[in-house]
A and B are shown apart, each in its own frame.
Chain A
């Protein structure tokens, strides 16, 4: 029988992590994602799988614990919310520069500054465009259901290890706090030390056994020629990811007159707006990017040829809309609508924005 549970998004991430055979979680409490570490502490995964869970003294420390453990070839993760993620950016840049696989979960709240604890999608810039220093990319997955919160844990690790690159689940207070039905994956075994040496022994610091050369994990290269070469290597990797790993969902996109582009909980609200639009005789579709990086630019560009206008709906003052505009490249009108600072748009408001900004505008 399927293992169906009613869970919060935050709890689903935590349980999925145990079942994915994650070796360690390092975190620091912050609303609205503290349930992740609370759930893990209550579950005592060290008894279930041997998984390590540690509450660090800060987000800075937590992400650097992730660095240390990930550099050992282990399956390691952390989670936080926007202000905490800002703190983690230093470590994330080092992890990306050192090409370490790991999973980071950001349950976004409104900002800037201490902002609010209510849901937001205003971390798009800091997670998709960088945030830390240097030219690097994170693989960014945007769940819109509690089920996807659970599913993207393993998917995130799979991509992270495949490309030796940090992966990120970009969620928000709605998905983190809401409960839905979730079918949990079966328990996977954690990798043994020998298996880790076999798979990742060429780079992981596990102690230089059997006369092998020492492994060094660093993002430092003082000679600019060599740092440039390292950057070129990273860019080549990012290009490959862009070509191979785009994920998206299309809803009502067979023959729409208008298109919504939205991710996460905004995509859910757009689905309701599509139903409301239908009642008014307006044919609207939704393209939901599942990967925010790599971004589904090609698919958006293709759909831009078929529709009369695109409305980008985000809980931000307009962040992803920049990428949609780049993808559309002037082919059709693109507008942004969103509430922000912790406010969530209603389906009615979204439909009204479609009518005034796109259809009538």
Chain B
């Protein structure tokens, strides 16, 4: 068997290179579960930064959550923020370095629960930053607890019988709220569980970073993603469930800009 497997060098030599990892992703082993959308979302974000030639002027902010270690994988200058505070941290950076490119990468608990105030106010001030928001409807890092975006009836370790909206409130459509704020210039909802959607999401991220260069206001890209571990599904089932249920509540497309 072994002799049939080509080394990367052999593949490249044969002119069959179909994919090359951006140099703005490190070689560190990803800490995400197999099938998780974070890896793709990381990669396309970093590809965009490389393609736009922003490597030397980019400062990213990692959140608390599964992507707390995003700085281990994203090969640009990075800061690690306290839970929910990434937009405030990014504001601090951008205000003292208005010419740098600044982005936050946050999950739903970080952005839409504990960091709601920081998120809304940074967007409302129109900070010239890009916010990448990964919404998988659950707290992955801490073991699958209910998130502000958990769907009605959806089970989690703190809603073991399903989210009861009478008791636990409604899933928060924070992206819709953000689109209402005059400080935001581009607000969109994307997904990365299918190749076509990945291409669209990358385009959206690129547009967001391009608009940041024009100092037009906050750009906000939600990526509806999966959490097969937290959802207790196989990766394939998780993607199918995402397609069937999450996108109903969180429809894809541009909300603004």
Contacts and interface: CB of A to CB of B under 8 A. Distances in A.
Interface of A: 23-24, 26, 52, 54, 56-58, 60-62, 64-72, 74, 76, 90-91, 94, 98, 193, 205-210, 214-220
Given A57-B117, A207-B56, A220-B68, A23 B92 contact: no
B58 interface: yes
A311 B10 CA distance: 82
Given A68-B93, A72-B96, A220 B80 contact: yes
Interface in B48-64: 55-59, 61-62
A210 B56 CA distance: 8
A91 B82 CA distance: 7
B89 interface: yes
Interface string B56-91: 111101100000110100011111111001001111
Given A205-B59, A205-B77, A205-B79, A57 B118 contact: yes
B207 interface: no
Contacts of B81: 64, 67-68, 94
Contact of A61 (B68, B69, B71, B117): B117
Contact of A218 (B75, B79, B93, B117): B79
B105 to A, nearest CB: 14
13 contacts: A23-B96, A24-B92, A60-B88, A64-B85, A65-B89, A68-B89, A68-B91, A72-B97, A94-B81, A94-B82, A207-B58, A217-B80, A220-B68
A58 B117 contact: yes
B8 to A, nearest CB: 24
Contacts of B96: 23-24, 52, 69, 72, 74, 76
Contacts, number: 127
B95 interface: yes
A206 B80 contact: no
A208 B77 contact: yes
A252 to B, nearest CB: 46
Nearest to A93: B82
Interface residues of B, number: 32
Interface string B105-120: 0000000000001100
Given A68-B90, A208-B56, A218-B62, 5 more contacts: A26-B92, A60-B85, A60-B118, A64-B88, A220-B80
A26 B121 CA distance: 14
Interface in B139-155: none
Nearest to B61: A68
A126 B238 CA distance: 47
A219 B83 CA distance: 12
B256 interface: no
B78 to A, nearest CB: 5
B77 A214 contact: yes
Given A57-B118, A60-B88, A64-B81, A214 B95 contact: no
A68 B78 contact: no
A167 B56 CA distance: 31
Contacts of B93: 68-69, 71-72, 205
A60 B91 CA distance: 13
B42 interface: no
Contacts of B78: 205, 214-218
Contacts of A23: 96
